[in-house]
Structure 1
Amino acid sequence: MTATMFARTDGCHRLVASYLSRLGRTALDLLAMLVDERCGRFAPQAPYRAAARSPG
């Protein structure tokens, strides 16, 4: 067996779809961060850290 069909009304279907969607978005975010880092555009500082270090 290589695939199992889930009914759209099944609660498990929504749970798995939500998990896989988040997993895909996270993977794409990590890939984008890798590309930015390799191209020299990566800014590792979070905005709150930059604000904490600025005089004011």
Structure 2
Amino acid sequence: MKFELSEQVKLFSGETGVLIGRAEYLDHSPEYLIRYKDSDGRTEEDWWKESDISKSQ
């Protein structure tokens, strides 16, 4: 998998967060559970496709 647990990542939407879970599948790309603050400042947790996140600078 491309990202590690506890790694800081950037979402394609611009928010940054921490990777708290990951799922690996036989028939599609890995997904990652990310905890981040949304544009309203609320803490969110959601699953994101590997192609929708990158390493945080």
Q: Place the TM-score, normalised by the shorter chain, in its bin.
A: under 0.3
TM-score, normalized by length of structure 1? 0.19
Query: Which is higher, the Rg of structure 1 or of structure 2?
Result: 1
TM-score, normalized by length of structure 2? 0.18
Q: Which structure has the higher relative contact order (CA within 8 Å, separation 6+)?
A: 2
Bigger helix fraction: 1
